[in-house]
């Protein structure tokens, strides 16, 4: 069965303290891996799509990478406004979408 596991469940950082969020997956025929940001009381907001191992995408302080078994979302010098829940999702070969439970990130000033 397709599975997506995100770790840690929660992460507290000081402003400027870089770190990484992990998304490990097992899926039949990966079509794409997606990262979203979700603020409290709002719907998810799309960040990145990764399609193949070795691929990397960057946006401001965020960088997403992909291997055959996992993806990392690296946050460089985070700011308080980066506080949110970050969701990872995979799309299988049959187009099924499966989301991870998310990592709740808090960045303290």
Site for another protein, rule CB under 8 A: 32, 34, 41-46, 49, 87, 89, 91, 95-97, 99-102
By the 8 A CB rule, do 63 and 56 touch?
A: yes
Give CA–CA dist 12/5, Å, rounded.
Answer: 19
Of 77, 72, 80, 91, the residue nearest 6 (C-alpha): 72
Min dist CB 15 to another protein, Å, is 28
Sign of CA dihedral 41, 9, 24, 56: positive
Q: Which is nearer to another protein, 21 or 78 (CB)?
A: 21
Cβ distance to another protein smaller for residue 35 or 72: 35
In the three-class reduction of DSSP (H, G, I as helix; E, B as strand; rest coil), residue 81 is classed as helix
Q: Which one, 75 or 87, has the nearer CB to another protein?
A: 87
CA R_g for the chain: 13
Shortest gap between Cβ of 13 and another protein (angstroms)? 23
Q: How far is the CB of 16 from another protein (least distance, A)?
A: 30
Shortest Å distance, C-beta 44 to another protein: 5
Nearer to another protein, 53 or 97 (CB): 97
């Amino acid at each position: 069965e397709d599975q997506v596991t995100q770790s840690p469940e929660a992460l507290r950082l000081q402003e400027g303290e870089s770190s990484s969020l992990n998304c490990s997956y097992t899926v039949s025929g990966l079509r794409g891996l997606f990262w979203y940001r979700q603020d409290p009381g709002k719907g998810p907001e799309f960040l990145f799509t990764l399609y193949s191992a070795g691929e990397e995408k960057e946006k401001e302080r965020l960088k997403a990478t992909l291997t055959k078994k996992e993806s990392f979302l690296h946050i460089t010098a985070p700011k308080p406004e980066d506080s949110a829940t970050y969701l990872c999702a995979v799309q299988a070969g049959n187009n099924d979408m499966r989301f991870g439970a998310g990592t709740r990130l808090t960045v303290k000033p």
